[in-house]
Copies of this chain bind each other. A is one copy, B any other.
Amino acid sequence: MGSTMPPPAQVRRLRRRLAELEREVAFSLSDQTSCCGVTAAQCHLLLEIEERGQSSLGELAAALELDPSTLSRTVDALVAAGLVSRAVEAGNRRRQAIGLSPTGLERVECINDTCDAYYSRLLDSMPEEKREAALDALSILAEAMRLFRKGGGNSCCENPQRRPS
């Protein structure tokens, strides 16, 4: 725990800025992926496959923290698009080896080029001495949030009322 309570104004600023950043990230992501002919979810999956190389569906689902059913369908789409290969594993016929096809690899490179160019320009537009600080801050924030999530206890106001549905 820190030594001093953060002032309310600071808390509000954090909320607001995270919300802004969230929106901007979503926008840039949809820009970058849509132009490469894949949707955002497909893009995330492609990049994850590139990084892990030949994984099973369950592993990918765990890595992306998505339901296996969701991933199954996304893989379907990418297989249909010819970007991803899917084959039953040799030693375990339950599992599937999911990997990038040659076309998929090309596409991932294309996505990487686009994203790298964008974020490179972005960093370039920032004062040089602030770049590392920004990376540092992002990493600290994400890590703290991750710990909180695992630790649970994000209880809420006692308003268990649900929408009429």
Interface residues of chain A, those whose CB is within 8 Å of chain B, are 1-6, 8, 10-15, 17-29, 31-32, 35-39, 44, 65, 77, 80-81, 107, 110, 113-116, 118-128, 130-142, 144-149, 154-157, 159-164
- Closest B residue to A37 by CB, please name it: B161
A36 touches B159 (CB 8 A): yes
Residues of B within 8 Å of A138, CB to CB, are 14, 17-18, 20-21, 137, 141
Residues of B within 8 Å of A123, CB to CB, are 2, 6, 10-11, 14
Residues of B within 8 Å of A80, CB to CB, are 164
Residues of B within 8 Å of A157, CB to CB, are 35-36, 110, 113-114
| Given A18-B25, A137-B130, A137-B134, A11 and B144 contact (CB-CB distance below 8 Å) | no
Cα A5 to Cα B139 in complex, Å, equals 22
A120 touches B22 (CB 8 A): no
- Closest B residue to A145 by CB, please name it: B24
